[in-house]
Amino acid sequence: MKKTVALVGMMGAGKTAVGKALAARLGVPFLDSDGEIEKAAAMSIAEIFERYGEPFFRRRETEVIARLLEDERAILSTGGGAFLSEANRALISERGVSVWLKADLDLLWNRVKHKSTRPLLRSDDPRATLAAFVEAREPLYAQAAIVVEAEPRLSVEAMAEKVIGALRAHGGILVEEEET
C-alpha cells in the first residue's frame, strides 16, 4: 500500500472486523485508534468518557491518529466520532485515504444493541440516539475519499474484498504486487 487506509463510519459499521480482514488480505498491520487510546490510558473508552469526558477523549484521539498515521502503512480503524473532527479529517486526507463503511440504521442497531461498551448510547432510547448520530454524522462521513456500502448479507471477508475493489477503483493506493 502506498498510503494508510483509515476506515471511518458509525459504531457497528464493521470498521474493526473488516479492517482486520483487510489487513490480513493485504499483508499489512491492523491498527485501531480506540484500542491504542485504551492502551495508553490503561482504561476503557467508557471509563475515559466517564472519568474525563468526551472533549478530553477527542483530544487524545487526534494525538493517537496523528501518531498512527506517521507509522508504517496499515489499515487504521478509527472510532465512530473520529472523522467528525476537522483536524482528524485533514490528518487522514494528508497522510492516508479515508474509506467510509456506510451502513444503514437497521444494520447498525442490530450490531450494537446488545453491547454495553458504547458510552454514547447510554440513554433512555439508545436506538433514537443512534438514529440522531447517523443523521448528524453522515454529511461528515460523506467527505471520505471512498464510500463502501455495508451489506448485511456479506461476510466480513466479502466486505474486505469489496473495500479492496473500491481501493483499486480509486487508484494510487495499492501497489500491484501486494494485491495478489
> What pLDDT, in 10s, does the model give residues 98-143?
999 999 999 999 888 876 666 566 777 889 989 999 999 999 999 9
Q: Per residue in 32-68, pLDDT tens?
A: 999 999 998 999 988 998 899 989 999 999 999 999 9
Identify the structural domains of the chain with CATH numbers, from first to last.
Answer: 4-179 (3.40.50.300)
pLDDT surpassing 50 at residue 178: no
User: What is the edge-to-edge ordering of all strands in the sheet holding 30-32?
Assistant: 30-32, 75-77, 4-8, 96-102, 146-149
User: Among all chains, which residue has been given the C-alpha cell 494508510?
Assistant: 4
pTM score: 0.90
Residue 22 has pLDDT above 60, yes or no: yes
Contact between residue 166 and residue 31 where contact means Cβ atoms under 8 Å apart: no
In tens, the pLDDT along 142-170 reads 999 999 999 889 999 999 999 999 999 99
Annotated binding site for ATP: 12-17, 118
Number of C-beta neighbours around residue 17 at 10 A:
17
Binding residues for Mg(2+): 16
CA dist 48 and 87 (Å) reads: 21
Report the pLDDT value the prediction gives residue 123, as an integer from 0 to 100.
Answer: 73
The whole-angstrom separation of Cα 171 and Cα 148 is 15
Residues annotated within a binding site for substrate: 34, 58, 80, 137
Q: Mean pLDDT across the chain, nearest whole number? A: 90
